[in-house]
C-alpha cells in the first residue's frame, strides 16, 4: 500500500473545509479546491478559526497550528490536484454534478490516486462508472463537523479494490476516526436511518401533532439525542435532507421514503436552515435576541 502524503479536497463548504482541516492537522499537504473565491476565502477563515479553538483548548500547540495552516493550499485550479495521492470530493449532493467532477478528476489525477466521495447517499458504483479507474473509487462519508465527529462511513462500490479500501480505512484512522463499513445501498447506514426520522418529524409538524419545540424537546429528553430532529435538519441543511430523501425514495422504491410536503415547501421557499438564517427555526431572531441580551447585560444571558 502506497504511503499517502498529499490530499486534495474539492468543495470549500462546511464539509470540504472540515476535511481539509483534518488532513492538514494530521501532517498531510492539502490542496482545497473551490471555483468560488468567496467560498475559498470563507473556508480559509473558518479553518484558521477552528484550528485556533483547538489551541485555546490546549488540544494542540500554537506551533502545530501554524504548521497545519502552512500545509494548506487553497486554489480554484482543479489541475493542482495532479500530484495528490488521495482526492476527496465534497461538493453539492447531486449525482450529475458529482459525475462530471469525477470525469474531470479521472483525467487530472495521477494513475495511482484514489478518488473518494463524501456523498451521504449517492451510489458509489454509479460515480465510479464515470471514471476509467472504478477500482480506485470509494465512499468516505465524514460526519458534520468533520474535525469533531468521530465517525467515518466507508462505502465500497461494486469494483472498489481491497487496496483502495484499506488505504481509505488507514487514512480515516490516521485522522483519529472510528470506521464503519456499508454496502452500496441508497443512504448507506447513517442516513438510511437518520433521514426517515427527520422526515417523520416534518410530518409530525406538518399534520399538527405538536409544535416544533415540543417535537425537538421530546426527542432530546425522551431519547437522549443531543439535538432534536428539526434542529438537526436545520444544522445539516434542509436542501441536503431533501436531496437524500429523494435518493432514498428513488433508490429503494418505497413510499415511506417520500419527502414530506412541508420539507419540500421550505426548500422551495429558500428556508434551508442555519446557513441561510432560517429553516424550521428563524436564526435571525435568535441572533438578534442574543445580541440584545449582550448589549443590555454586558454578558451572556445564560
Annotated catalytic, 249? Answer: no
162 annotated ligand-binding residue? no
Apex CA 42: angle with CA 299 and CA 68, to 5°? 95
The answer on whether 176 is annotated among ligand-binding residues is no
Q: Which three cell numbers stand for residue 147?
A: 474535525
Q: Does 120 participate in catalysis according to the annotation? A: yes
93 annotated to bind ligand: yes
Q: In angstroms, what CA-CA distances link 269 with 83, 237, 280, 300?
A: 42, 13, 12, 33
Catalytic residue among 123, 191, 199, 243: 191
Find cell 438510511 and name the residue.
Answer: 192
Known binding residue 120? Answer is: yes
Q: Is 14 annotated as a binding residue?
A: yes
Catalytic residue among 46, 84, 153, 182: 153
Q: 298 among the known binding-site residues?
A: no
- Of 144, 148, 86, give the one whose Cα is nearest residue 120: 144
Q: Measuring CA to CA, which residue among 131, 174, 180 is closest to residue 151?
A: 180
Q: 171 with 4: CB under 8 angstroms?
A: yes
The grid cell for 55 is 489551541
Is 80 a catalytic site residue? Answer: no
The answer to the question of whether 13 is labelled as a binding residue is yes
Active site residue 153: yes
Q: Is 144 annotated as a binding residue?
A: yes
Q: Which residues pair with 88 in a beta bridge?
A: 9, 116
- Active-site residue (options: 17, 46, 117, 120): 120
Q: Is 107 annotated as a binding residue?
A: no
Residues 6+ apart with CB under 8 A from 173: 179
To the question of whether residue 295 is assigned a binding role by annotation, the answer is: no
Whether residue 8 is annotated as binding a ligand: the answer is no
169 φ/ψ sector (left φ>0, alpha ψ -120 to 50, else beta): alpha
Catalytic position from the list 141, 182, 199, 243: 141
Q: What single-letter DSSP state applies at residue 59?
A: S
Residues annotated as binding site for CoA? 50, 57, 120
Question: Which residues are the active-site residues?
Answer: 120, 141, 153, 191
Residues annotated as binding site for NAD(+)? 11-16, 34, 93, 98, 120, 144, 275
Residues annotated as binding site? 11-16, 34, 50, 57, 93, 98, 120, 144, 275
Amino acid at each position: 500500500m502506497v504511503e499517502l502524503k498529499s490530499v486534495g479536497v474539492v468543495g470549500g463548504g462546511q464539509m470540504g473545509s472540515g476535511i481539509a482541516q483534518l488532513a492538514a492537522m494530521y501532517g498531510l499537504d492539502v490542496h482545497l479546491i473551490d471555483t468560488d473565491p468567496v467560498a475559498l476565502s470563507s473556508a480559509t477563515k473558518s479553518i484558521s478559526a477552528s484550528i485556533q479553538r483547538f489551541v485555546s483548548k490546549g488540544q494542540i500547540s500554537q506551533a502545530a497550528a501554524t504548521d497545519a495552516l502552512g500545509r494548506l493550499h487553497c486554489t480554484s485550479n482543479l489541475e493542482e490536484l495532479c500530484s495528490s495521492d488521495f482526492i476527496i470530493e465534497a461538493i453539492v449532493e447531486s449525482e450529475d454534478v458529482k459525475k462530471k467532477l469525477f470525469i474531470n478528476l479521472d483525467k487530472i489525477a495521477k494513475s495511482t490516486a484514489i478518488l473518494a466521495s463524501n456523498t451521504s447517499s449517492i451510489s458509489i458504483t454509479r460515480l465510479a462508472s464515470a471514471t476509467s479507474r472504478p477500482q480506485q473509487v470509494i465512499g468516505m462519508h465524514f460526519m458534520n463537523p468533520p474535525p469533531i465527529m468521530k465517525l467515518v462511513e466507508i462505502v465500497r462500490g461494486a469494483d472498489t479494490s481491497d487496496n483502495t479500501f484499506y488505504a481509505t480505512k488507514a487514512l480515516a484512522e490516521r485522522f483519529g476516526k472510528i470506521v464503519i463499513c456499508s454496502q452500496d445501498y441508497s443512504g448507506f447506514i447513517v442516513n438510511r436511518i437518520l433521514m426517515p426520522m427527520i422526515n417523520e418529524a416534518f410530518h409530525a409538524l406538518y399534520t399538527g401533532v405538536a409544535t416544533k419545540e415540543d417535537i425537538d424537546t421530546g426527542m432530546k429528553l425522551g431519547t437522549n439525542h443531543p439535538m432534536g430532529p428539526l434542529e438537526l435538519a436545520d444544522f445539516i441543511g434542509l436542501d441536503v435532507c431533501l436531496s437524500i430523501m429523494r435518493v432514498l425514495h428513488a433508490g429503494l422504491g418505497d413510499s415511506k421514503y417520500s419527502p414530506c410536503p412541508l420539507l419540500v415547501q421550505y426548500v422551495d421557499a429558500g428556508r434551508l436552515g442555519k446557513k441561510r438564517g432560517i429553516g424550521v427555526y428563524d436564526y435571525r431572531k435568535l441572533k438578534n435576541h442574543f445580541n440584545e441580551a449582550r448589549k443590555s447585560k454586558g454578558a451572556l444571558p445564560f
